[in-house]
Chains A and B, each alone.
Chain A
């Protein structure tokens, strides 16, 4: 059973470009979570999705950021018009259920904005 997969592992974008981060949950997991770790800062919750639904996006910046988890395919975190402050490690996790279940983490995508 493959773990949570994220790609790309490293992504370099120039200011103003778009960044697309992909997350494939573990087999059988229908709950996906995105977290961001800014340099020298702790991890922060961004968004929680179930298949085709955004359950909680309270941690997402109001502008430029969006997330989806379609019926088929991976979850996508999309950042439009990236700025240097978006440089961070973005981690995706999945779980088989929403509560009382362990979240399994992917290796992360390290985004660098130049």
Chain B
């Protein structure tokens, strides 16, 4: 049974820092891995999707990597801004079901 873990659960950093959010999964037989952003009381914004055959994806200041063999994905945020404050969720697609991590709550201090 797939389990997805995100570390850290919360992170507070000053504006401008580069940071890494971690996501690990127990079953490497995944079709893809997605990163989402969720603002308080709001919906889900898809950030990046990495197919199982890919190693990384980039969008603006965001870069996500995938290492299936070690069961890990990272989300790298460059030059963080206060507007990046949100909860970041990763989800593995193992068989059309998305299995979700509990999220990392990120606070960027001005």
Chain A residues at the B interface, C-beta cutoff of 8 Å: 31, 33, 35, 41-45, 48, 55-56, 59, 91, 93, 95, 98-100, 102-108, 110
B: interface residue count bin: 20 to 34
Contacts of B95 in A (CB 8 A): 99
One of B34, B41, B52 near A103 (C-beta < 8 A) = B34
Q: For window 26-48 of chain B, which residues contact chain A by CB distance below 8 Å?
A: 31-32, 34, 36, 41-44, 46
CA distance A55 to B52 in the complex (A): 23
- For the complex, would chain B's binding face be called helix, strand, loop or mixed by DSSP majority? strand
Q: A100-B31, A100-B32, A100-B51 are in contact. Are A35 and B102 (CB under 8 A)?
A: no
CA distance A106 to B42 in the complex (A): 11
B89 at the interface (CB under 8 A from A): yes
B99 at the interface (CB under 8 A from A): yes
Greatest chain B CB density within 10 A among A33, A42, A99 is at A42
Q: A99-B31, A102-B49, A103-B34 are in contact. Are A91 and B99 (CB under 8 A)?
A: no
Q: Which residue of A lies closest to B36 (CB)?
A: A105
One of B34, B52, B97, B100 near A42 (C-beta < 8 A) = B100
Contacts of B96 in A (CB 8 A): 31, 33, 48, 55-56, 95, 98-99
- For the complex, would chain A's binding face be called helix, strand, loop or mixed by DSSP majority? strand
Contact, CB under 8 Å: B49 / A43: no
CB distance from B62 to the nearest CB of A (A): 16
CA distance A104 to B95 in the complex (A): 16
CB distance from A106 to the nearest CB of B (A): 7
Contact, CB under 8 Å: B46 / A43: no
